[in-house]
Amino acid sequence: MTDGIGRDGLKAGDVAIITGGGGGFGRAFSLRLAKMGARIAVWDVDAALGGETVRQVREAGGEARFFKVDLADPASIAACAQETMAAMGVPYCIINNASVFPRGEVIELTLADWEWTLKVNLTAPFLIAKTLGPRMIEQGRGVVINLASGRAVEGAAKGANYACTKAAMISLTKSLALEWARHGVRVNAIIPGQSLTAMPLAATPEAELHAHAKLRNPMGRIGYPEDVAGLAAYLVSADAAYMTGQGVAINGGAVMVP
Ligand SMILES: NC(=O)c1ccc[n+]([C@@H]2O[C@H](COP(=O)([O-])OP(=O)(O)OC[C@H]3O[C@@H](n4cnc5c(N)ncnc54)[C@H](O)[C@@H]3O)[C@@H](O)[C@H]2O)c1
């Protein structure tokens, strides 16, 4: 930089933890960041999905390890954080990507489903921040990316539980960004639109998703994990060194934020 201001970003060898790394976005984030030289810690409750991501990263010439974790369980999060740091070191990047989305109108949703959604989607990122944040602050550099959703601003019929956690993720992003800005740790949120992964496919057949996007999305197509991975690549890079506390929407123009 000609202005003499140091700008930090992901460097080869830095560790990136991707929660839900076995899923649609999680795998795309893992492959993309590995391509940038990151060593990937794939955190997932599903060993088969997580293992497949590790296999694909290695096949592409990258480095990755799988760590089994149940993000609904604080003890499992604490154990996984220690295991990851013992095996790979303090992370430079954490992508809070794992989510659950049990569906139902408010009057049908059980308290158990409500609480499970909150635990995985919101309490886990809070606990991860409490556990790993101090180590990133000590290190004086780091990036957190939180996955929100267009539902945070639009709401979701049959998904108040999910929408509430996604709105809260935007809020958590802003608060953490304020607390950590002086410590060299940046925190931003990605606000994706509907994309072709297991999550929407659990509720809607693929052909219907495409037909809906063709009709309703300004660009006439659904999103793909690779669309969103490119934004994560930017957010971890030195190009985004002056960016913190922001929520960036990526959805073909479907929801415009702010
Ligand atoms: N796909 C979309 O249309 C869309 C739209 C907006 C936002 N998002 C957000 O993007 C993120 C990724 O979504 P996706 O579509 O890739 O989902 P996905 O269902 O493909 O992947 C989710 C991953 O999280 C893991 N997971 C679930 N519960 C877990 C737990 N308790 N502990 C550990 N891992 C657990 C799953 O095993 C899976 O690998 C989510 O935060 C989601 O809310 C997705």
The pLDDT tens digits of the residues spanning 201-252 come to: 999 999 999 999 999 999 999 999 999 999 999 999 999 999 999 999 999 9
- Give how many domains the chain has, as a whole number: 1
Question: 64 phi and psi, to 5 degrees?
Answer: -155, 150
Taking the C-alpha atoms of residue 165 and residue 109, their distance in angstroms, rounded to an integer, is 15
Taking the C-alpha atoms of residue 226 and residue 31, their distance in angstroms, rounded to an integer, is 10
| Average pLDDT over every residue of 88-102 | 98
pLDDT digits (tens, 9 = 90+) for 140-184: 999 999 999 999 999 999 999 999 999 999 999 999 999 999 999
The residues annotated with a catalytic role in the active site are: 162
C-beta of residue 117 within 8 angstroms of C-beta of residue 222: no
Residue 2, pLDDT score? 67
Domain contains 246 = no
Specify the DSSP class assigned to residue 120.
I
Residue 4, pLDDT score? 79
**Cis status of the peptide bond prior to 74, with omega within 30 of 0:** no
| Average pLDDT over every residue of 121-135 | 98
State which of 117, 118, 199 you would mutate to test the pocket of ligand 1, scoring each by most atoms of that ligand within 8 A of its C-beta.
199
Q: What is the mean pLDDT of the chain?
A: 97
26 CB within 6 A, ligand 1: yes
Domain contains 254 = no
Structural domain harbouring 162: 15-241
Domain contains 249 = no
* 113 pLDDT higher than 80: yes
Tell how far the Cα of 192 is from the centroid of ligand 1, in angstroms: 12
Domain contains 5 = no
Return the closest-CA partner of residue 216 out of 251, 164, 240: 251
Domain contains 257 = no
Domain contains 188 = yes
Domain contains 3 = no
Percentage, residues of the chain above pLDDT 90: 97
* Ligand 1 nearest atom to the CA of residue 21, by list position: 39
Tell how far the Cα of 240 is from the centroid of ligand 1, in angstroms: 24
CATH number at residue 85: 3.40.50.720
Residue 5, pLDDT score? 81
Residue 18, pLDDT score? 98
Helices (H), the chain: 24-35, 47-59, 74-88, 111-118, 124-139, 151-154, 160-180, 198-201, 206-216, 225-236
| Average pLDDT over every residue of 82-94 | 98
Domain contains 8 = no
* 1 pLDDT higher than 60: no
* Ligand 1 nearest atom to the CA of residue 225, by list position: 16
